[in-house]
Amino acid sequence: MIVEPYLLYLGEATDPISIKTARGVAQWRPGSVVGQRRLPGCTVDLDVPDLGYSEAVTAGARTMIIGDANAGGVLRNSAHAEIIAALEAGLDVASGLHQRLRDVAEIRETAQRLGRTLHDVREPPSDLDVGKGFPRPGRRLLTVGTDCSVGKMYTTLALEREMRARGIGANFRATGQTGILIAGSGIAVDAVVSDFISGAAERITPARTDTAWDLVEGQGSLFHPSYAGVSLGLLHGAQPSALVLCHEAGRPHMRGLPGRAMPDLAECLATNLAAARITSADPIFVGVSVNTSNLPPHERATYCSKVTDALGLPCQDPLIDGVDLIVDRLVSCFERSQSAPNASRSGNHSASRVA
């Protein structure tokens, strides 16, 4: 478990995309952030106090999160001395980069000497087992996508926030590095050997007998040739009762694959349900989450209305509209199923096409 509160390390970053991990933590766990560490030349700002390492420790920080990444997912050279300074000031250090902190000898040796903890969140547990698919109690929701990077993490966190605001028990279960640093725990499934992905999903969503929901952050897409494997493993391991489809309106092609068209929404619903039924008895879709940033503002509401009409599911842009209608559907479906156990829960997934 990564210990809060956090100092967010932005280093020399000039590209807002390079600090998406730090921005995610600041946005979704603002009460856990005491400040940011920026070096000369840094032009991005999370609107939290600029602090040195000793100042951060005095302010209560326990862990520094590496929130600045190169495109290759490796530490910038300037970060080595900064990490060592943070360790010496009394901070643990957490990183979601592909390069492991422990693989840098001077960082590893300093942490060992001082008794500090290095969290390489892309390092999966060494004792993962393969998934078994045995039925287990608990309420689980999984976000799935038409493609990669269509807002699955954001949607899952938005669902958690909305459900908690209503007094519904909900726990975000992280499967990616940014999500882990937001939640403080989880398994980065893109670093798990393929045979063990479903087992990793089972690990982070163990059996539970209360009425709270485990909200599992989805990854990839069953329709993406590069990443369908991780998506399928999560579907089987999470054993979701409920699913939310995530999509980006107006995306011209699958991410990184020019010429490969985006899939049809209704086909995505059907394909994900078919895969989920391998380990889940009666999964249903409860909504569609759409990133409408590519659309003119006056077209966004119309687009969501068309999706709702075609699929019979509430459709919202979580950044603009929130996810209240999706949670309404979730509550309605599962309250109805509890009061009438033999009644069919319907996701109303028609075969209509939505472009």
Contact 237, 129 (CB under 8 A): no
Packing angle between helix 77-89 and helix 105-114, nearest 10 degrees?
0
For residue 350, what pLDDT is reported?
42
Domain 139-339 adopts which CATH fold?
Rossmann fold (3.40.50)
For residue 10, what pLDDT is reported?
95
Q: Does the fold of domain 139-339 match that of domain 6-120?
A: yes
Alpha-carbon span 59 to 277, nearest angstrom: 49
Mean pLDDT in residue range 120-133: 94
CATH superfamily to which 6-120 belongs? NAD(P)-binding Rossmann-like Domain (3.40.50.720)
330 pLDDT higher than 50? yes
Strands, sheet with 242-248, edge to edge from the N-terminal-most edge strand: 170-173, 213-216, 139-145, 242-248, 284-291, 315-316
The residue among 285, 219, 287, 288 whose CA lies nearest residue 247 is 288
Torsion of CA 342, 348, 350, 354, to 10 degrees: -160
344 pLDDT higher than 80? no
Give tens-digit pLDDT for 188-219. Answer: 999 999 999 999 999 999 999 999 999 999 99
Buried b (16+ CB within 10 A) or exposed e, 275-289: bbeebbeebbbbbbb
Query: Structure tokens of 257?
Result: 């694959």
Strands 63-66 and 118-120: unpaired
Contact 35, 50 (CB under 8 A): yes
Query: Structure tokens of 335?
Result: 């309250």
Predicted model pTM: 0.89
Q: Indicate the average pLDDT of the chain.
A: 92
Mean pLDDT in residue range 264-278: 98
Give tens-digit pLDDT for 152-186. Answer: 999 999 999 999 999 999 999 999 999 999 998 99
Mean pLDDT in residue range 127-146: 97
Helix (H) or strand (E) holding 195: none
Q: What are phi and psi of 33, to 5 degrees?
A: -110, 125
Helix, strand, coil in percent for the chain, rounding step 5: 40, 15, 45
For residue 71, what pLDDT is reported?
58
Mean pLDDT in residue range 237-260: 97
- ∠ CA 166-151-350, rounded to 5°: 80
Q: Where are the domains of the chain?
A: 6-120, 139-339
Neighbours of 309 (CB within 10 A): 13
Neighbours of 263 (CB within 10 A): 18
For residue 17, what pLDDT is reported?
83
29 pLDDT higher than 60? yes
- Residue 118 makes CB contacts below 8 A (sequence gap 6+) with 92, 93, 94, 95, 101, 102, 107, 108, 111
Give tens-digit pLDDT for 96-115. Answer: 998 899 999 999 999 999 99
Alpha-carbon span 301 to 31, nearest angstrom: 33
Contact 185, 119 (CB under 8 A): no
Confidence of residue 1 (pLDDT cuts 50, 70, 90): confident
Percentage of the chain exceeding pLDDT 70: 93
The residue among 293, 212, 218, 284 whose CA lies nearest residue 251 is 293
For residue 70, what pLDDT is reported?
64
Confidence of residue 355 (pLDDT cuts 50, 70, 90): very low
* Identity of the residue numbered 32: S
Question: Alpha-carbon torsion 37, 42, 48, 49, what sign?
Answer: positive
Mean pLDDT in residue range 267-294: 97
Q: In whole angstroms, how large is the CA radius of gyration of the chain?
A: 21
